């Protein structure tokens, strides 16, 4: 333990980056295969290690009774409070999530992340409902996880063809199917130095 503490203390002295840990937080019942797919997709693109936290109940204050959905911005507040010791936090859920978009109070979404913020949240609900095979569902779900994590790394929506940061514009399925799953050059330039592979 003493050696680890000394190593971590020496990192800034020699100009080495501190270890980047991305914490996956299962919100409600989440199948291991979803966590595994997200973990593999992120570590293939980002210089970080994955830590899977214990299951958390979806917070009651995030539940939107009129539509029986969970408010994504409330889930982000919940996840922000669990970010201590992590570089970024990714909430993973099967619950249906939503947020406010323009004049639409309850807009259904597959994920939400704050640009430059510590946390994002992704839901498999939409992909499970509209994917013909498990493989397709997992690919689409991994894509949205990489997308929302990109927002936390400072990337806004992108107009470059095939970029994973493209705006879904109300069609998360079509967006995932047109995505390469990769960050384009201009988006990569916005991420913290050394954070991407």
Residue 63 lies in a domain: yes
Residue 3 lies in a domain: no
Residue 65 lies in a domain: yes
Please enumerate in sequence order all residues whose Cβ is within 8 A of that of 30, keeping only pairs 6 or more positions apart, or say none: 55, 92, 93, 94, 124
What is the pLDDT, as a whole number, of residue 17?
Answer: 55
What is the pLDDT, as a whole number, of residue 9?
Answer: 41
What is the pLDDT, as a whole number, of residue 11?
Answer: 41
197 residues of the chain, pLDDT tens digit each: 444 443 344 444 444 456 899 999 999 999 999 999 999 999 999 999 999 999 999 999 999 999 999 999 999 999 999 999 999 999 999 999 999 999 999 999 999 999 999 999 999 999 999 999 999 999 999 999 999 999 999 999 999 999 999 999 999 999 999 999 999 999 999 999 999 99
CA–CA dist 194, 27 (Å, integer): 30
Residue 11 lies in a domain: no
What does the longest C-alpha to C-alpha distance in the chain come to? 55
Number of domains in the chain: 1
pTM of the model: 0.90
Domain of residue 78, residue span: 18-188
């Amino acid at each position: 333990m003493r050696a680890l503490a000394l190593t971590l203390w020496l990192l800034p002295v020699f100009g080495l980056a501190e270890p980047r840990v991305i914490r996956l937080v299962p919100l409600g019942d989440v199948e291991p295969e979803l966590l595994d797919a997200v973990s593999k997709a992120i570590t293939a693109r980002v210089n970080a290690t994955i830590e899977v936290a214990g299951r958390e109940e979806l917070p009651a204050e995030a539940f939107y009774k009129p539509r029986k959905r969970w408010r994504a911005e409330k889930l982000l507040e919940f996840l922000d409070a669990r970010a201590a010791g992590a570089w970024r936090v990714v909430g993973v859920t099967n619950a249906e999530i939503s947020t406010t978009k323009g004049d639409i109070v309850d807009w259904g979404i597959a994920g939400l992340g704050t640009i430059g913020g510590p946390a994002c949240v992704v839901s498999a609900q939409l992909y499970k409902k509209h994917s013909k095979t498990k493989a397709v569902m997992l690919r689409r779900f991994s894509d949205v996880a990489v997308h929302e994590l990109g927002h936390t790394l400072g990337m806004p929506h992108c107009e470059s063809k095939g970029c994973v940061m493209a705006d879904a514009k109300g069609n998360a399925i079509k967006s995932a199917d047109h995505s390469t799953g990769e960050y384009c050059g201009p988006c990569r330039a916005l991420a913290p130095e050394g954070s991407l592979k």
